Structure 1
Amino acid sequence: MFKLKQLGQHLLVEYYDCDVEILKNTLLIEKYMIEAAKVAKATIVESVFHTFNPWGVSGVIVIEESHLTIHTWPEYKYAAVDLFTCGNMIKPLAAFNLLEMKLKAERFDLKEVSRGSLERILKR
């Protein structure tokens, strides 16, 4: 039997040298984030996105298993993404790979943070 060691997995991603026109397009960014949630096998609860003036997008996909967020800076060809998932059934790396391809990122930095170590939580 699989024993859960942490409550969540949090991928902190920085995508560089992305397609500027994609990073400006709120509807496309939202579409890609929804696709990322689906490919990760997450259950979508709500989607909220905002367009900045003159450009840039911030958005969140609330999932039953936590959230996926994105913030874009088209002027720098840069996007910051958080993929925070809980449980052992969700595949955040699948979401990461899809977004790398859809944003046409030429490079990235990826950090993984374990959230809610059960060893620490249950230690009394």
Structure 2
Amino acid sequence: MPTAVHAPSGTHVLADLSGIAAEKLSSCAQLESLLRAAAEAAHAQVLFSHFHGFGEGLGVTGVVLLAESHISIHTWPECGFAAADIFMCGNAQPELALALIKDALQPSISQVSAMRRAPPAMLE
């Protein structure tokens, strides 16, 4: 059986970020740049990204696919809210990605949950 390059486990971080200035949440280009920088800060390898804006002053949904998994964001500028989903395996550090995202968006409230994910046999 071939040896895996990365163990099939990782850390999954979900973040609800509130109280963000609307102008930080409606630019596809700015959010894509932010998430790509977050991946780099976490020592992850970007494979591809795609972002979609829903119109002038409206939200954005976007994903950065990583060799280590993904980072995605969904924004609601009219509510000052962003939801981020960061899953990384291998040596990548998703907490570093989240720190960069929070530093850039400056939410007044952050609700974050993190879970270690692995096949059941690896968690024992």
Report if TM-score (shorter chain) is over 0.5. Answer: yes
Residue equivalent to 1:28: 30
1:46 shift after superposition: 0.2
Match of 2:42 among 28, 40, 43: 40
Aligned partner of 2:72 in structure 1 is 69
Structure 2 unmatched runs, 5+: 1-5
Deviation at 1:53, TM superposition (A): 2.8
Alignment of 1:9-24 (within 5 A): 9-24=11-26
Q: Equivalences for 1:1-124 in 2 at 5 Å?
A: 7-54=9-56, 55-87=58-90, 89-117=91-119, 120-121=120-121
3-state SS of paired residue (2:106):
coil
* Amino acid in structure 2 at the alignment position of 1:34: R
Q: Distance in 1 between matches of 2:7 and 2:121?
A: 10
Distance 1:65 1:106, change over 3 A: same
- For the residue of structure 2 that corresponds to 1:37, the secondary structure is helix
Q: CA RMSD in A?
A: 1.9
Q: Supply the distance in 1 between the matched residues of 2:40 and 2:111 (Cα, whole angstroms).
A: 23
> Matched residue pairs, number?
117
Unaligned residue ranges in structure 1 (runs of 5+): none
Give, in whole Å, the separation in 1 of the partners of 2:48 and 2:7. 28
Cα–Cα, structure 1 residues 34 and 6, in superposed 2: closer, same or farther, change >3 Å?
A: same
Deviation of 1:107 (Å): 1.6
What is the TM-score of this pair, normalised by structure 2? Answer: 0.87
TM-score, with length taken from structure 1 = 0.87
Q: Which amino acid aligns with 2:62?
A: G
